[in-house]
Each structure stands twice: as C-alpha cells, then as structure tokens.
Amino acid sequence: MTRILGISFDGVASPSITLKPGYFCVQEKAVSYGWGYGWYQEGQKAATILKDATASDSSAINQLLTNWQRFHSTVFICHLRGAAKSITQQSTQPFSRSYAGRDWIMLHNGDISHYKEVLKLDENSVFEPLGKTDSEHMFCWLMQQIYLSGARRLADIDKKQLLHWLSTINALGTVNIMLSDGDSLLVYQDINHFNSLKWCRRHPPYTSTVLESDDVKVDLSNSFDQARTMVVFATQAMTNENWIEMQPGQVLIVKRGWILWDSVKKKIETPQAINLPTKLVTAAEPFIMTIYHHTRYLYETNVELSKHLFYLQPVDDEVQKLLSFELTITPGCDQVVFDDVFNNRGTFAVINKPYKELSVIAKSTVKVKPQTIYNGPLATNAQKFPVAWMPWQQQTLLPFLLPPELPIANLEELSEYAMTFVKRNDGDFLAVLNDINHVIHEDYTYQSQSTSLDTTPYEVYVARKGVCQDFANLFICLARLLNIPARYRTGYIYTGAEYENKIQSDASHAWVEVYIPMVGWRGYDPTNGILAGVDHIRVASGRNYRDVTPTSGTIYEGGSAKETMEIEVRVTREEQSG
C-alpha cells in the first residue's frame, strides 16, 4: 500500500488525486487513519495543507480533492496511512512551520521513542509542537537545528550536519521523512529499510498519464501536466516503469524534477556540474584535425543549369587556425568566394553545362585550441536573470534574440519550460545554460530520420526526440525566450572521443553558441551534453539552419527526375601539438 507520496515537478502542475475504495476498506490494528496533503501555490512560499483526520469515504474533502484543479504547484507531499495516533487535525500530517520567509512542510512515516529526552525542546526553542505526536516533535526539533545553523533554505544546509541530524532521529526508531521548503524536496529512507521507499524520474512523452497504486490514483491528464518532468517517491511503485529502491539511510534532495543531491554518491548532482570543467572547456593542448567532406548529387536526367551555395570552409580565428582548405566541384563551374553578413566564408557556384552527377569535395586542415568558458570573477559570476542589454547591444544582437515564429500557445509553453531552468538554478546565468544543455542530452532521444527540416522546436519539445539540428533549435529557442542571444553553428566533431551520439557525425554536426556578457560567443553541444571544445570544428553560424546550410542550390533547367544525395564525412586527428 501507499503510505507516503512525494512529487517534484519541473513546472507547476495540477494533478487530480483520488483515494480509491480500497484505501477505506483496509483495516490495520494500531493504525489510526487520516490523510493529509501539502503543496505550494504557484509562485508562493506559503504552504497549503489539506487533511482529514477521520478519512471517511464520504468525506466532502476527499471529493473536493479529486475534482479540484487549482493546485498549481511544483511540490506535493502526501501522508496516506497511519497519519495520527489520535483523530485530531493538529495531530494529522503533514505539519507546517514558518521560517525564513517561507513555510516548511514535513511528514514522517514510522515511530520513534524517547524523543523528548534526546530531541530536546525547551522554553527558548523557536519551534513548539501543537499536538502530542512524535512526528511533530521531531519536525520542531529539526527546524530548530536548521534555525541554529543559520541556513534559510534546504539548499543552504551543510550536508554533513543534515546527515547527522537525520541519523540522530533515526537512532530513536523507524524514520522515513519528506521535508520541503517550497523549492526543494528532501526524502530520507530509514536506516533499517522500514517501509522501503522507491523513486522514479518520468519525463514526456508518457506511456500513461496516471500514477496508480492499490489505494491512490494520481491523474495527470490535464494537457499542461502532460508536458511536465517529475521525480516521484512512494512506498509502492505506481507505474510499470523502472522504480529505484532507496538505500538504507539515503537522502535525496530534488528540485523541479531533478535530483540535486544524493547522500550515497556523496556529491551534488547539479546539472551544471556534469561534464563541465572549472576553467577550461576541454583539453589543455591544441589539436590538428583533418576533415574530408564529400557530397554527391545524382540525377536520372541531365541538369542543364543550376546555382549553388556552399558553406564548407572552416573558421579561421584566434581559437581555430585554418591551415589549408581545398574545394573541388565537379563538373567545373564559375565560382565566387565571399564573406556573408554573419562573417561566414561562402562559395557561390553556377553550373551551366549538362550533368547527371554533382560532386562536391571539401578538404580542410585546422588547428583547434582550447577555450575558456569565462574570463574571471567580474565576467559572469554575478550575472543573474533577467539579463539586461544596452540598446546598442540589443540592436546588434537582435537577429539572435528573436525566437522562431510559432503559435502564441507554443511560445508560451516553451517560455514556461525555459523558466523552469531559471528557477531551478536560482537565476544563475551559466548554471541555467549548462542545465539546458545537460537536460536536452539526458531527456531527449537521438533518433535518426525522426524529424525534418520543418520540425519546430515545440514539436521536438513534445516528442522529446530528434537529431543534432533539432536539439540545437530547441536550445536556441529556449535561450532566446530567456533574452539570451543564441546562434546556430554548423561544423564537424571528432568522433574519436567517447560520445554517446557519434552517429550525428556521419555528416556535418550542429550545436549552439550563446553570447555571454563580457566573455563572448561560447559553444554548447546538447546532442552530446558537453561544451564545444577542441573536438568541435567550426564552419558557419547564423540565425538558424537555413542561414548556414553546408550545401544548397536551385535547379533552373533539367533534372526533373528524382534526386539522390550521398554524404561522406571523415574527421581525423593528425597529431597533438603544443
């Protein structure tokens, strides 16, 4: 049966919660019934507690809970069994206390003894229990320790101190705890594995919008809720997905659908910390890369006249030195080499002789140097949202600040999704970018031929699958909705490195570059969940894919039959050079 339940969503949700008939039929000796739910209304630090000490199946409160559509919260905790030793509201969980400008809510599953002697509360204690339960006394003692430590949020608590407090409590009996400050949710598993807790991280698209156990049903069929990522904790698995059993004495802290801290791993699992060095993006030494790119177009009938635009020449600047470049187009044609408005080196070609095969071979050699992500404490450490730009900066960056033209409902939903990253990272600029990069890599499936050039960022967001182009487009859209300049970058990636999505390098690769205040343009590769570094060879950048298509053209005469295209790309590392 489900005794306690906790959910952390990445955005506000309004689930319908129903206590099933089986909940009211089960009779257990020494267990007084009564249920209680706690949550935080959207954008508020005040908690809402709804509880029923009698747990009657005809309860008007229970009916209200099933049909209510006004939750709008990112955190829910529910106590469903053994809520109190006496049938009173003040003894029914969860409990709430106000501290540091917010309400804290807690529930406890278990039973402790000698708690008044060990978890001492005297007349000088800031927090005092209203009822006479061990759970509320424990909560007040724990809040007193948080107060004395000076921490004002769960995120501020020293993790060693936290583990010590929880171990002290657990030594007195059986203890499963859920504690929230409105932003984060802490879950603790009893050291002796009492009423084993399980958890599951779910992200769209769902196979089912219903979480269900023998005695409770959580329905997320609301159209907005179906787009939410969530971490769910319960004493009984509620879907047929892979639920992970918590280890004895384990503490997990989650925030907006992501696990921030795991006591077993002994480290903070913030998305921005994964795969990201402190100072340098990748290796400390430059590398020389050789790129071979061959594109063939085949036609059943002759093409008489065609015009083409090629972006195949790698960038030559202080980070990436172009050592050689050779472009061979067969059949021979008139060519013009130019720099476009985005400062890309392009080749315009006109072929006015008949052909059934067009061969384009680009051979390049470049030396790529490592690049720092920031230039010191004055650059980005203090940067927070909202991002402010001077008028002249806005004018210059405008092409990279405008999101794609999508229906207003699509942009509103994507904007809300983008803000979940801001709120999860407390508005830290670099943390938000790193989080977006990592989450797209983790939660979105790389699937060849699952999309087209016309696939929108919203469609990728809904389907949670695509290729490198789609992931770049989604990242760009989210960044621009947050007023962060972002541009589309094409190029190549060295496949000798151990990346999960090597398949994307069979042709040219795509990633994102964002403009960081007082730093400049820096690359993020959401397909591989890394920062762009010495394994990435930059070729062209623009507002989107259509600005920097590696090979494009128009047939004016002939070639009416079906066109066939073949692409071969090879990237090799020649040598390491100091």
3-state secondary structure of 66: helix
H or E element: which one contains 165? helix 159-170
Output the tens digit of pLDDT for each of the chain's 578 residues: 678 999 999 999 988 888 876 665 555 544 446 788 899 988 789 999 988 777 665 556 666 666 665 678 999 999 987 545 566 778 889 999 999 999 999 999 999 999 999 999 988 899 999 988 999 999 999 999 999 999 999 999 999 999 999 999 999 999 999 999 999 999 999 999 999 999 999 999 988 889 998 888 888 887 777 889 999 999 999 999 999 999 999 999 999 999 999 999 865 444 443 333 333 344 457 889 999 999 999 998 999 999 999 999 999 999 999 999 999 999 999 999 999 999 999 999 999 999 999 999 999 999 998 876 654 554 545 567 788 888 999 999 999 999 999 999 999 999 999 999 999 999 888 889 999 999 999 999 998 888 888 899 999 999 999 999 999 999 999 999 999 999 999 999 987 755 554 544 456 899 999 998 888 899 999 999 999 888 899 999 999 999 999 999 998 888 776 889 999 999 998 755 44
Please list, residue by residue across 191-217, b when 16 or more beta carbons sit within 10 angstroms of its beta carbon and e when fewer do: bebbbebbbbbbbbebeebebbbebbb
Domain 391-535 has CATH 3.10.620.30: yes
H or E element: which one contains 50? strand 47-52
Which pLDDT belongs to residue 33? 61
Other CB atoms within 10 Å distance of the CB of residue 178: 26
Q: Which two tokens stand for residue 461?
A: 């967001």
Cα(473)–Cα(458) distance, integer angstroms: 10
H or E element: which one contains 491? strand 486-493
CA-to-CA dists, residue 189 to 94, 198, 406, angstroms:
17, 9, 45
Q: Count Cα neighbours of 98 within 13 Å in the Cβ-side half-sphere.
A: 6
Cα(85)–Cα(132) distance, integer angstroms: 9
Given the DSSP bridges, would you call strands 465-466 and 445-446 parallel, antiparallel or unpaired? parallel
Cα(364)–Cα(362) distance, integer angstroms: 7
Which pLDDT belongs to residue 462? 93
H or E element: which one contains 78? strand 73-79
Q: Which pTM does this prediction carry?
A: 0.88
Q: Which two tokens stand for residue 354?
A: 């008949």
Which DSSP state fits 353?
A: S
| Torsion sign over Cα 450, 454, 459, 464 | positive
Contact status, residue 256 vs residue 203, Cβ threshold 8 Å: no
Evaluate the omega torsion of the peptide bond into residue 526 and state whether it is cis, within 30 degrees of 0: no
Cα(417)–Cα(440) distance, integer angstroms: 12
Given the DSSP bridges, would you call strands 244-245 and 509-516 parallel, antiparallel or unpaired? unpaired
Domains of the chain: which residue ranges?
4-269, 287-369+551-576, 391-535
Which pLDDT belongs to residue 283? 46
DSSP bridge pairs for 491: 509, 538
Which pLDDT belongs to residue 370? 81
Q: Which two tokens stand for residue 578?
A: 């100091």
3-state secondary structure of 189: coil
Cα(303)–Cα(560) distance, integer angstroms: 8
Which pLDDT belongs to residue 395? 92
The CATH code belonging to domain 287-369+551-576 is 2.60.40.2250
Fold designation for 4-269: Glutamine Phosphoribosylpyrophosphate, subunit 1, domain 1 (3.60.20)
CA-to-CA dists, residue 454 to 90, 404, 451, 469, angstroms:
58, 12, 8, 11
Which pLDDT belongs to residue 497? 55
Which pLDDT belongs to residue 59? 59
Contact status, residue 473 vs residue 508, Cβ threshold 8 Å: no
